[in-house]
Amino acid sequence: MTNTSQQIGLSFWAKTDLATRAEARRLLSAVVEEGADDFVGLFYNAFLADDEASTFLSHSVVHERLGKSLRGWLIELLCADPDAGFEAFDERQKQIGEIHARIKIPIHLVMAGSSLLKSEVSARLLEKDADRNTVIVALMLMSELVDYAIRQMSQAYVVGTTRRAQVDEAYRLVSLGQDVSLERESQRAALMEWGQSVLFGLFGNAGSAPPEPISQSAFGLWLRHRAGMMFQGASSLEGIEDAVQQVDRVLLPKIDEARAEGGDRLQDVLRRLQASIEEIKYLLNDLFQSVAGMENARDPMTKALNRRFLPSILSREVALANSSGSSLTLLMIDVDHFKQINDKWGHLAGDTVLRQIAEVIMDNVRPCDFVFRYGGEEFLVALVETPEGAGVDIAERVRRQFMEHKLQLPDGDAITATVSIGVAGHRGHPDYAYLIDLADKALYRAKTLGRNRVEIDSAVAAE
Amino acid sequence: MTNTSQQIGLSFWAKTDLATRAEARRLLSAVVEEGADDFVGLFYNAFLADDEASTFLSHSVVHERLGKSLRGWLIELLCADPDAGFEAFDERQKQIGEIHARIKIPIHLVMAGSSLLKSEVSARLLEKDADRNTVIVALMLMSELVDYAIRQMSQAYVVGTTRRAQVDEAYRLVSLGQDVSLERESQRAALMEWGQSVLFGLFGNAGSAPPEPISQSAFGLWLRHRAGMMFQGASSLEGIEDAVQQVDRVLLPKIDEARAEGGDRLQDVLRRLQASIEEIKYLLNDLFQSVAGMENARDPMTKALNRRFLPSILSREVALANSSGSSLTLLMIDVDHFKQINDKWGHLAGDTVLRQIAEVIMDNVRPCDFVFRYGGEEFLVALVETPEGAGVDIAERVRRQFMEHKLQLPDGDAITATVSIGVAGHRGHPDYAYLIDLADKALYRAKTLGRNRVEIDSAVAAE
C-alpha cells in the first residue's frame, strides 16, 4: 500500500508512521471541508488575473460549473485516502488536463492557482490547535497531493496541446494547399464587389440605406473566418485589418454626410475610399505572395533545405543516433570573402557562387543526408550514419572541388572562390544546438587559421 | 518590495514579518548549501526513472553539465533574496524551459523531480534545531520559490513544444507535398537495386564479400531518415521495418551458408528473399497510398470538410465569437433511415444521397461557413456570425429542399429521403465540445419526435 503513495511521489508521506498519518488526514479533511469555498475562490482569482482566461470566465455556465468542479476536485484530492490506490484518480486528472488543452487554459495558470491554494491551506492548518507534528505531516501531504495532481494534468495538457498544434498547422497548410491563386482572385473579386455596391448605393435615393460596412461583406467575413487561420501572424494581414477598420469607422460615416452635401466634399471622400480599396488590394496580393516562400521546404535559389526545418530534422537525427548508437556528423560550410565577391562582381555573381557551392555539396553527399541553407553564404550539412573521420573526407573533397573549379559569372568572367568548413561529430549530447555550436566553432577556427581549410571541432582536438 | 514577492506568488511569504523572514532565509540557505549535492542527486533520480530521459542522461557531458547547472539553479533559487526583484531570474527559468522543449525533457518529469526535492528539503528543515515558526516559514518559502520557478519554466516549455510541433508537422506535410509519386518510384528503384546487387554478388567468387544488409542500402537509409518523419505512425511503415529486419537478421546469413552448399538449399533461400522483397514493395505502395487520403482537407465524396480539422476550426470560431461578441450557430444534420436506404437500394444509392445532401447544404450556406462530414451520414455545419433564429431558418430550408427533391439513383430509380436537424446557438461557453453536444441532443430530439424536423437545443427550449 505504501508503495502506491510512494510511486506517485508522496515521498514525505511514505516516511510517516501510520498513527500520525491517520491524525494528519483527519486534520487536513477538517480544514479542507471548512474552507472549501474560500479555496475555490482563490483558484478562481488566479484565473481572473489572466486576460485571456478571464474573458470566458464571465460566462455564467462556466462560473457555476467551474466552481462546482473545483470544489469536487479539491475534496476528492485532499480528503481521500492516499494509501488506497490512485488509478481512477489518475484518469480524472488526465481528463482535466485534456479539457484544459481543448479550451486553452494554460498550465501555468493552473499552477499559479494551485500555489495560492497550497499557501492558504497551509496557513489554515498552522492556525489549528493541533499537535505540531500532525500539522506538518498534514501540510506536506496536502502539498504532495496537489503537486501530484498538477503533474498528471500537465502531462495530459502538453500531449493535448501538442496534438492540437499539429492539427492546426496541418489545417493551415492544407487550406493553403488548395488553389491559392483561385482563392486570391475570389477575394479580390469580393473586395471589388463591395466597392461597387457602395458606389451604386450612392446613386440611389437620398433616403436609401447607408452603405454596408466592408467588415460585414463577404470579403470581411473571409478576412475574419478564413484568412486569420491561413495567414496567421502575417504583417500584411494586420495591415488589411487596420485598413478595413479605417474604412468602416472613418470613411463610411463621412460618405453618408458628404452625400447630403454633394459636390467637392463627396468627391474628396470617394477619392479616399478608392485609395483605401487600392491599399487593401495591394496588401492582399502581398499576403498571398508572402506564403508562397514560407511554405517551401527548400530555398528557391540554392535548393538547399529551409533553415526553418532544422530543429525538426536535427532533433530527430540526434535522438535516432542516441537510441541506435549510430554516428552523425555536421559540416558547417562558409564561402570565403563572400562580401568581396559581392562587392566586386555584383550580387548576381554572388548568387552564382552560392548556387554552385550548393551543387558541389549535394553532388558529394547521399540523398539521405540533409543540406540546409544556414545563413547568407553558410550551409549546414547533416551526414547521417557517418563518423567524423568520413565527414572530414567529404568536407575535404568539397573544399578541393570548389577551389579547382572556375566559376562562370553571368557576364562571362570566371572567378575562383574558396570555402572554409567546420566539422563536428555527434558524441551523445542530446541537444542538437550543442552540436551546431561545435561545428560553428570549428568553422571559426578554419577562418582564423587562414580560410580555405577544414577544421574539426575542438572538443575532439583537445582529446 | 513586498509587492514583487507577492506578484510572483509568494503569498505566504508576503504575509510574514520581516524579522522572521531574515531568520527563515538564513536557515534555508544553510540547509540548501549543506545538502545541495544530495538534492541534485534526487532530481537526477527522478529523470532516471523515465525511460526516454534516461537514454541521454548516460552521456557524460550531460551528467556533468546537468549536475552543475542543477546545483547552480538550486542555490540561486533558494539562497537569493526573494524581496530583491525577479527579472533576471525569470529570464533564466524561461531559458531552461526552452532548452527542455528543445531536447524534449517532459515538464511532468521536472515537476516530479521538484516534488521530491521539496519533500527532502522540508525533511531537512524539520530536523533543524531552530525556532518552529522559522522552520515553517523557511519551508513555505522554499516551496513557493520552487513552484514559482517551475511555473515559469512550464510556460516557456509549452510555448517551445507547441512551436516545435507546428514546425514538425509543417516539415512533414511539406515533404509529402513534394512529388510523392516520384519519391515512391525512387524508393521502389532503390529497393530493386539492392535486390539485384545481392543476386549479382551470388555469382561472384565464393570468397567475395557477404551481401550488404538492406538496412545499410540507400533504401534502408531512406527508411530510417526520411520515411520515419513523413509517414509517422503509419502501420505499413512498421511492417516494412519488420520485414527489413527479418531479411537482414534471418535471410542474409542463410544465403551465405546456402551459397557454400548450393543446389536446392540456395534455391529455397532465394525464393524466400524474393517473397520478402515483394512484401516490402507491396507495403511501400500501401504506405504512399495511405497518406493520399489523410492529407485532404475535404472528404473526397461529399466535398465536406474533414472531421479531423473540427477542433482547429471550432475552437477558433468559439474564441472569436467570445472575444468579438458575435454569434455562431451549429447545425447537426442526419439523413433519416439511412441504413434502410443503403440496405434496400445498395451503397451506391447511399452515396448518391450523401452527395446530394452535401450539395443542398452547401447551396444554402455562405462560403465563410464550415460544412463538415461529421459521421457516416451526419454533417455538422458551423454558421459564423449567425444567430440561432437565422440558423433555424437555414435548417428549415435545407430540410424542405431535401424533402421536395427526388433523388435520382444510379440505376434510374428515384427516391425521396428526409433529414433531421439539431440547432444550437453559441451562448458564451468556451468549450466547443459543449456546443456540439447541445446540437447533438437537439438532433436526438428531432429523431425521437418523429424525424424530418428541426429542433433547437433544450437549453434554449428550457428558458
Q: Tens digits of per-residue pLDDT, B347-388? A: 888 898 899 999 999 999 988 899 999 998 999 999 999 999
Identify whether the C-beta of residue A184 lies closer than 8 Å to the C-beta of residue A225: no
Cβ-defined contact of B116 to A15 (cutoff 8 Å): no
Of A55-69, B85-99, B429-443, the poorest mean pLDDT is in A55-69
State the total domains in chain A. 3
Q: How far is B96 from chain A (nearest CA, A)?
A: 13
Question: Could you say which of A56, A157, A165 has the minimum Cβ distance to residue B166?
Answer: A165
| Whether residues B372 and B226 fall in one domain | no
Cβ-defined contact of A225 to B151 (cutoff 8 Å): no
Task: Say whether pLDDT at B200 is over 90.
Answer: no
Query: In which residue are the cell numbers 514525505 written?
Result: A12
| CATH code, domain with B457 | 3.30.70.270
User: Given B173, B197, B220, which residue is the final one in a domain?
Assistant: B173
Q: Does A130 touch chain B (CB under 8 A)?
A: no
Task: Say whether pLDDT at B174 is over 80.
Answer: no
Q: Is residue A302 part of a domain?
A: no
Q: b or e along A290-308 (b: 16 or more beta carbons within 10 Å of the residue's beta carbon)?
A: ebeeebebbbeebebbbeb
CA dihedral A75, A78, A82, A84 (to 10 degrees): -10
| B289 — pLDDT class (breaks 50, 70, 90) | confident
Q: Does A182 touch chain B (CB under 8 A)?
A: no
Q: Is residue B363 part of a domain?
A: yes
Select the residue from B51, B162, B365 to test the A interface by mutation, using most A Cβ atoms within 10 A: B162
| B52 — pLDDT class (breaks 50, 70, 90) | low
Helix (H) or strand (E) holding B380: strand B378-384
Q: How far is A278 from chain B (nearest CA, A)?
A: 23
Task: Name the A residues in 346-365 with CB < 8 Å from any B CB.
Answer: none
C-alpha cell at A297: 521546404
| Whether residues B126 and B222 fall in one domain | no
pLDDT one-digit tens code per residue, B383-423: 999 999 999 999 999 999 988 888 888 788 888 899 999 99
Average pLDDT per run of 10 along chain A, which is 463 residues long?
A: 63 89 94 93 78 66 77 90 80 91 88 91 93 93 94 95 88 74 86 88 69 91 87 88 93 83 82 92 89 70 88 90 91 95 88 91 91 94 96 96 85 88 92 94 96 85 45
The amino acid that residue B346 corresponds to is G
Collapse the DSSP code of A290 into the 3-class scheme (helix H, G, I; strand E, B; otherwise coil) and give the result.
helix
The amino acid that residue A103 corresponds to is I
Q: What residues in A contact B109, CB-CB < 8 Å? A: none
| CATH code, domain with A164 | 1.10.490.10
Of A173-187, B11-25, B268-282, the poorest mean pLDDT is in A173-187
Q: Mean pLDDT across chain B, nearest whole number?
A: 87
Rounded Cα distance, A383 and A35, in Å: 62
User: B183 vs A164, A343, B189, B440, CA distance in Å?
Assistant: 29, 41, 10, 43
Q: Is residue B410 part of a domain?
A: yes
Q: What residues in B contact A175, CB-CB < 8 Å? A: 297
Task: Say whether pLDDT at B1 is over 50.
Answer: no
Largest CA distance in chain A: 95
| Whether residues A203 and A55 fall in one domain | no
| Whether residues B420 and B455 fall in one domain | yes
Q: What is the mean pLDDT of residues B153-160?
A: 95
The amino acid that residue A151 corresponds to is R
Task: Name the B residues in 239-268 with CB < 8 Å from any A CB.
Answer: none
Sign of CA dihedral A250, A251, A255, A256: negative
| Whether residues A94 and A211 fall in one domain | no
User: B356 vs A226, A252, B381, CA distance in Å?
Assistant: 25, 42, 15
Q: What is the mean pLDDT of residues B253-269?
A: 82
Sign of CA dihedral A248, A249, A255, A257: positive
Cβ-defined contact of A296 to B174 (cutoff 8 Å): yes
Tell me which residue of B145, B139, B154, B63 sits closest to B107, measured CA to CA.
Answer: B154
In sequence order, which residues have a C-beta less than 8 Å from that of residue B285 and are 6 or more positions away? B184
Identify whether the C-beta of residue A78 lies closer than 8 Å to the C-beta of residue A147: no
Question: Could you say which of A136, A164, A228 has the minimum Cβ distance to residue B311?
Answer: A164
Rounded Cα distance, B383 and B371, in Å: 9
Helix and strand numbers (H, E) in chain B are 20, 7
Q: Does A297 touch chain B (CB under 8 A)?
A: yes
Q: What is the mean pLDDT of residues B163-181?
A: 80
Q: How many CB atoms lie within 10 A of CB A417?
A: 24
Q: Does B367 touch chain A (CB under 8 A)?
A: yes
The amino acid that residue B56 corresponds to is F
Task: Say whether pLDDT at B295 is over 70.
Answer: no
Identify whether the C-beta of residue B395 lies closer than 8 Å to the C-beta of residue B425: no
Q: Does A63 touch chain B (CB under 8 A)?
A: no
Q: Is residue A301 part of a domain?
A: no
Question: Could you say which of A166, A174, A433 has the minimum Cβ distance to residue B295?
Answer: A174
C-alpha cell at A459: 572538443
Query: In which residue are the cell numbers 473526397 written?
Result: B300
| Whether residues A283 and A340 fall in one domain | no
Of A323-327, A372-376, B54-58, B199-203, the poorest mean pLDDT is in B54-58
Task: Name the A residues in 384-423 with CB < 8 Å from any B CB.
Answer: 384-385
Q: What residues in B contact A186, CB-CB < 8 Å? A: 367
Q: What residues in B contact A154, CB-CB < 8 Å? A: 107-108, 111, 154
Q: Is residue A300 part of a domain?
A: no
Q: What is the mean pLDDT of residues B248-266?
A: 83
Query: In which residue are the cell numbers 467551474 written?
Result: A66
pLDDT of residue A167: 86
Rounded Cα distance, A257 and A202, in Å: 12
Q: What is the mean pLDDT of residues B103-113?
A: 88
Tell me which residue of A256, A380, A243 sits closest to A310, measured CA to CA.
Answer: A380
Q: Is residue B300 part of a domain?
A: no
| Whether residues A31 and A116 fall in one domain | yes
Q: Is residue A457 part of a domain?
A: yes
A208-217, A285-294, B279-288, B289-298: which is most confident: B279-288
| Whether residues A160 and A206 fall in one domain | no
* B291 vs A243, more confident: A243
C-alpha cell at A150: 498538477
Cβ-defined contact of A55 to B322 (cutoff 8 Å): yes
| Whether residues B194 and B167 fall in one domain | no
Sign of CA dihedral B184, B189, B192, B193: negative
Identify whether the C-beta of residue A173 lies closer than 8 Å to the C-beta of residue A295: yes
| Whether residues A165 and A186 fall in one domain | no
| B444 — pLDDT class (breaks 50, 70, 90) | very high
Q: b or e along B238-259 (b: 16 or more beta carbons within 10 Å of the residue's beta carbon)?
A: ebbbebbebbbeebbebbeebb
User: Given A122, A144, A172, which residue is the final one in a domain?
Assistant: A172
In terms of residue numbers, what domain contains B415? 307-461
Q: How far is B445 from chain A (nearest CA, A)?
A: 22
C-alpha cell at B268: 529455397
| B57 — pLDDT class (breaks 50, 70, 90) | low
Q: Is residue B246 part of a domain?
A: yes
pLDDT of residue A208: 66
Task: Say whether pLDDT at B291 is over 80.
Answer: no
Q: Does A120 touch chain B (CB under 8 A)?
A: yes
pLDDT of residue B461: 46
Cβ-defined contact of A158 to B161 (cutoff 8 Å): yes
User: Given A294, A327, A361, which residue is the final one in a domain?
Assistant: A294
Rounded Cα distance, B17 and A461, in Å: 57
Rounded Cα distance, A361 and A116, in Å: 57
| Whether residues A249 and A325 fall in one domain | no
Cβ-defined contact of A164 to B312 (cutoff 8 Å): yes
| Whether residues B128 and B61 fall in one domain | yes
